[in-house]
Structure 1
Amino acid sequence: MSKSFDMELFLTGVLPGSQATRKRHLRQAAIIHAAIAARWQRETPWAWQRKHVAWFLDHHLDRRSEATRSYYRLTIRLLVRRLEKSWVFK
């Protein structure tokens, strides 16, 4: 039996801002995690590659508004910082 991944624990050290901002980042990180896990079968962020996150931005959010994509990019920057990667997205 596998345990579900705890995104809140994963992002604890890098979550800035107010309680509402923290909740938004956690909710969006969970959505990113679920989409990548469903498409690529990557159960933890440590297994992600840059192409997985780029796929999420390019294809999963393609019909969303620019404001929504901007908020997701902020959350992805937190995830990348926590993973200690040097990934940059347009």
Structure 2
Amino acid sequence: MTKPFDMEVFLNGVLTGSHATRQRHLRQAKIIQAAIVGRWQRESAWGWKRKHLAWFLKHSLKHRGEGTRYYYLLTVRLITRRLETSWVFDI
């Protein structure tokens, strides 16, 4: 039996800021994770590729406001920093 992927442990090293900011990033990262699991069945962020995060930003947030898309972009940047990649995204 395997443990479910813990997004909080994954992002722990790159989360900074106030308690509310850290909680927002964790909440949004879990929403991103759920969307990627639903589409590609990739639960662990270690297996994600740029296309997974780009898909989320483009398709899952297309009906959201500019501010919401910006905050999700910040969370995606934290994920890419944790993955130690240099992926660039635009919204």
Superposition pairs of residues 6-85 of structure 1, within 5 angstroms? 6-85=6-85
Name the TM-score, length of structure 2 as normaliser. Answer: 0.96
Runs of 4+ in 1 over 4 A off after TM superposition: none
Specify every segment of 5 or more residues in structure 2 that has no aligned partner in the other structure, as ranges.
none
Deviations 1:50-89 (A, max 9, x none): 0110000000000000000000000000000000011000
Does the residue aligned with 2:13 lie in a helix, a strand or coil?
Answer: helix
Identity of aligned residues (%): 68
1:3 Cα deviation from its structure 2 partner: 1.9
Which structure has more helix as a fraction of its residues? Answer: 1
Please tell me the root mean square deviation across aligned C-alpha atoms, in Å: 0.7
Name the TM-score, length of structure 1 as normaliser. Answer: 0.97
Query: For the residues of structure 1 that align with 2:44 and 2:80, how far apart are their CA atoms?
Result: 13
Deviations 1:4-49 (A, max 9, x none): 2111100011001000000000000000001001101111011111
